Amino acid sequence: MNNLYELINKFIESIDNEETVKELKDSYNKIKNNKELVEKIKKYNETYDEKIREELINNEDIRNAKHLEAILNYMILDINKELKEISKKDGCRWK
């Protein structure tokens, strides 16, 4: 069982070292450090103003983060697909 935990930890570490994940973390930090953008996000969450929404959608930092999120989501889908194939081959009982 310890071997399984070691493999899971190595897997998580390899994901953290993935370039897309690093870029996404940097992108989130860039957004968090932009006080004006954070205030705009807060104001949108309070008012749901369509004009503010459009400004947020058109913001380059947010667009970049959303793009990286989409790439990461596709990576997760691929991982899930592989895990499903492995469980079929090996007769895994974790269903």
Burial class (CB in 10 A: 0-12, 13-18, 19+), 14: exposed
Residue 37: its H or E element: helix 35-47
Query: What angle separates helix 50-57 from helix 35-47, to the nearest 10 degrees?
Result: 140
Rg of the chain (C-alpha set):
19
For each of the chain's 95 residues, which pLDDT tens digit applies? 677 778 788 888 888 888 999 999 999 999 999 999 999 999 999 999 999 999 999 999 999 999 999 999 998 898 888 878 877 766 655 55
Query: What's the CA gap between 24 and 55, in Å, rounded?
Result: 21
Cite the beta strand spans of 1-95 per DSSP E.
none
**Where exactly are the structural domains of the chain?**
19-88
